[in-house]
Structure 1
Amino acid sequence: MATVSTPPIDHAKTIFDDLGYTVSGDGEEFRAERKWRVVRVTAVTDSDETPDDGDLRCFVTWNEYASQLRNRLRRSDPEYEWAVISVREGGDYEVLRAPPCATAAV
């Protein structure tokens, strides 16, 4: 089982780096940039708080928390476009919900 008390920060950075983004920043939140797109990426575990601002946001969490996070974001209906990336212990991941428009976060 993944270390659930620690957000998957390294996995999040690796995912965006592998997708061709330039990753900058330290800690649980960082910027991923490619062409015109800037995504604010937040690595989380089971936190109940999600940011109130931004344009494009991506939340990266362990597999066991991903559905709960996606449901919370759907209920809160934030003003920004968002996606949730679910990470498994081995590093495999899947996007659970991407924004509905052509400017998807990942």
Structure 2
Amino acid sequence: MGTVTTTPSEEARSIFADLGYTVSKSDDGLRAERKWRVVHVTAADDSTTLPDSGDLRCFVAWKESAAALRERLLDATPDYDWAVIGVDTGGDYEVLHPSFGPSLAA
């Protein structure tokens, strides 16, 4: 049997669904909705152009790239609330937010 490979987007879809969000595909990634909240979820790597606008944004990357992405966002100081989810293929993840230090245990 071959190795099963997932993408950061697939991992993010699973994480948000487990948190009770309704997740759908959007033009730029995923749209996670729960109650009044809509989070735009974007798979990101070193070459991803960061959006100029938005309300709630979550960027998902492989764990080994997540801290560098957080630093890029801190340097860019975008005008929206954001977080980075660092994922691995085993389903483990960590949340990196601008206000909470390096990471939050998930």
Q: Which residue of 1 aligns with 2:97?
A: 97
Q: CA deviation at 1:19?
A: 0.5
Aligned residues: 96
When residues 62 and 27 of structure 1 are mapped into structure 2, their CA distance, relative to the original with a 3 A threshold, is farther
What is the rounded CA distance, in whole Å, between the counterparts of 1:97 and 1:57 in structure 2? Answer: 11
TM-score normalised to the size of structure 2?
A: 0.81
Tell me the TM-score normalised to structure 1 length.
Answer: 0.81
CA RMSD of aligned residues (A): 2.1
Uncovered stretches (5+) of structure 2, i.e. residues with no partner = 101-106
Give the match for residue 33 of structure 1.
Answer: 33
SS at match of 1:89: coil
Q: Which amino acid in the other structure matches residue 37 of structure 2?
A: R
Which 10-residue stretch deviates more, 18-27 or 84-93? 18-27
Aligned 8 A contact 1:9 1:28 in 2: no
Change (3 A) 1:98 1:7: farther
Instruction: Letter of the 1:43 partner, please give it.
Output: A
Written as runs of structure 1 = structure 2, the 5 A alignment for 1:25-104 is 25=25, 29-97=29-97
Moved over 3 A (4+): none
Q: Displacement, 1:27?
A: 7.3
Q: Which has the larger radius of gyration?
A: 2
User: Separation in 1 of the partners of 2:92 and 2:98?
Assistant: 17
